[in-house]
Amino acid sequence: MSDQTTPQDPRTQQPGPQSQSAEQIPHPGLTEQMDRRPDHGEETYRGSDRLRGKRAVITGADSGIGRAVALAFAREGADVVLGYLPEEERDAQETVRLVEEAGQRAVTVPGDVRQEAYCTGLVGTAVRELGGIDVLVNNAAYQMAQDDGLLGITTEQLDRVLKTNLYALFWLTKAAVPHMEAGAAIINTSSVQAFQPTPQLLDYACTKAAIIAFTKGLAEQLGPHGIRVNAVCPGPIWTPLIPATMAPEKVEDFGSDTPLGRAGQPAELAPVYVFLASQESSYVTGDRIAVTGGRIL
């Protein structure tokens, strides 16, 4: 769990938008390129064996939400298989360091989830190296803001967004389910965009809405087999994807329009994934949990 022994004001416990750099970084974005690094829970997350012996696959695990989830899972006792793009190797190795520092095993599988063969191979590696899969976290995603909205979205961009955010979800889950037993969990990363789409992120928002439908339908299908399926809906979260895909003026004010007045940190999301992966959520399936700083879904 997170270290919360001292009550803190949620508006100020993390830096506000005024401290964010308005500069952009090249896509896909590395943590080391950011002027203000995200908080993944390195100094605050304290585990309590809630996932002891679990075997997890996490996509988009090199940085941001994926790194925070991998760190938390490891400190809760899980071994993890990390999926990420080859160009994000430096970030991924830092995630490996954090997992191994927690005393758990990290298996790296670089590749592109837009390729079905990679998704199938990622699951195969998990089965071969860890002996099975208890938790699948479908977290990898792609977005690219377009000021012209619909008219600015090229076919190439639409294809990349759909394949990264949706096709991979189907491929990975379809490959993983035959290796999952009763008690396993699938956690999909959706977004507040599924409910409050930003015009500049229309294609991305559509995929995040589809993930909600996928989650609900799959939960109905797999419930009789004892496999739970849920989604997490982040709001504005400070990760490398933000300065790598948004205009500088949007980056500078990112998250300031939430009731809490700031962007969230990956460390503030990780406990939700731990909850959904653990037996504490044994009667929760087909649902979504919002972590939005107060934005209403």
| Domain ranges (residues) in the chain | 52-291
204 is catalytic: yes
Give me the percent of the chain exceeding a pLDDT of 70. Answer: 92
Per-residue confidence (pLDDT) for residue 21, from 0 to 100: 53
CA distances, 78 to each of 49, 130, 205, 283 (Å):
9, 11, 31, 21
**Mean confidence (pLDDT) of the chain:** 92
Give me the pLDDT at residue 296, please: 87
Nearest to 209 by CA among 225, 192, 226, 223: 192
Mean pLDDT of 252-260: 84
Question: Which amino acid belongs to residue 88?
Answer: E
User: What pLDDT was estimated at residue 4?
Assistant: 56
Of 84, 142, 204, 273, catalytic: 204
- Tokens coding 1: 């769990």
Please state the separation of Cα 34 from the chain's center in Å. 19
Fold for 52-291, please state it: Rossmann fold (3.40.50)
Q: Which pair of tokens denotes residue 182?
A: 């009763």
Which range is least confidently modeled, 30-39, 87-96, 169-178? 30-39
| Residue 110 confidence (pLDDT) | 98
pLDDT at position 196: 95
Mean pLDDT of 47-72: 97
Query: What pLDDT band is residue 242 in, cutting at 50, 70 and 90?
Result: confident
Arithmetic mean of pLDDT, 83-95: 96
- Highest mean pLDDT among 6-10, 138-142, 240-244 belongs to 138-142
**pLDDT tens-digit map of 188-236:** 999 999 999 999 999 999 999 999 999 999 999 999 999 999 999 999 9
Mean per-residue pLDDT for 59-80?
Answer: 97
Please report, for residues 13, 48, 97, 121, the alpha-carbon distance to residue 275 in angstroms, rounded to integers and kept in the order given. Answer: 22, 12, 23, 27
pLDDT of residue 14: 77
